[in-house]
Structures are given as C-alpha cells and as structure tokens.
Amino acid sequence: MYQYFYGLVIREGTEGVPAHYVEALFEDAGWARNTPSWQKEKFSLIFTNSTWAFTVWDQDKMIGMVRVISDKIMAANIMDLVVLSDYRGRGIGKKLVELCVSKLPHGDWFAHTSANNFKFYETCGFEVKDLAENGTCAYYGYIQARRDGHR
C-alpha cells in the first residue's frame, strides 16, 4: 500500500526496509550510536518479526517509520515511532499512529515511551494512566548491554 501525505509517500510493509535508513533515523533520535558493523543487520531484521510497519519517504530518502508488534486480535504495541528531526512538527508521527490504529481499531494499543512524548500520544487518543494504579513492567536489555560494554 502506498499513500500520499503532503508530498511524501507512506509505504506499508515489513519487507525490504533498508537498514542504513533505519540506522540513520535511530541515530537522529539518539537511540543508536557507533553501531558495530556486525550488528547493523538488526536495523532491517526488526521488521522481519514485526506485525505491521509503515515507512515515510521523501523521494528516495526514508524520513520516518513505525513498526507494530501485535497478536492481530486483541492487543498491539507501537514500536520505534520516529521521524527525522528536520521533518518533525508536520503531522507525520500522528498520521503514522492513525495508520497503525486503523489496523486493529477495536484492540488495545500500547506505546511505551518517555514522559516527553505523553502529550503527543494524548493528541493521538491515547491515555496516560496514573502509574500509582497501573503500570507496565519493563526490562531494558539495551541498558544491560551498555553496562556490559556492548553498546
């Protein structure tokens, strides 16, 4: 599926996403740096086991992406929603969230993110729960990898 969005092209699909573009987005967001060559394939492999994905293109340059992990029936998790910093503030992220939710409109959607993104997700219809009542338990392997000197 292709969709046009203010002169950009949004592609749906988990196959053929170029690793070097994903790495560039992650670096721009501050999520990756100095990735060893033997680990670079992870930037394309993350799509292999994702349920859905959307990428945003400005001609031949990927400037945004989101991927989803879901059971396709009841629940879905938004993973790695990122837009290149030069393109932020144009509604691209919100459009990507809308496309994701449209895949499972009556399911429960989750987006684990930092507090500075809460308002963005609220504008997309998500609720930020009172963590005194509800919360998500998480283990961050990348933090342990950094402690072990692998990142």
The answer to whether residue 12 scores a pLDDT higher than 70 is: yes
The answer to whether residue 133 scores a pLDDT higher than 90 is: no
What would the mean pLDDT of 39-62 be, rounded to a whole number?
Answer: 95
What would the mean pLDDT of 103-122 be, rounded to a whole number?
Answer: 89
Query: What is the tens place of the pLDDT at every residue in 67-94?
Result: 999 999 999 999 999 999 999 999 999 9
pLDDT at residue number 128? 82
Give every strand in the sheet of 108-111, ordered side by side.
Answer: 2-5, 8-12, 52-58, 61-70, 75-83, 108-111
Please check whether residue 93 is in contact with residue 64, taking contact to mean a CB–CB distance below 8 angstroms: yes
Mean pLDDT of the chain: 90
Three-state DSSP class for 40? coil
Percent of the chain predicted with pLDDT > 70: 91
Give every CB contact of residue 86 below 8 A, 6+ residues apart in sequence.
63
pLDDT at residue number 147? 85
Token pair for residue 19? 């690793």
User: In which residue are the tokens 């509800």 written?
Assistant: 134
Provide the pLDDT confidence category of residue 100 given band limits of 50, 70 and 90: very high
Residue 81's Cβ-count burial label (10 Å; 0-12, 13-18, 19+) is buried
Domains detected in the chain:
2-147 (3.40.630.30)
- Rounded to whole angstroms, how far apart are CA atoms 76 and 101? 9
Instruction: Give the H/E segment covering residue 22.
Output: helix 19-29
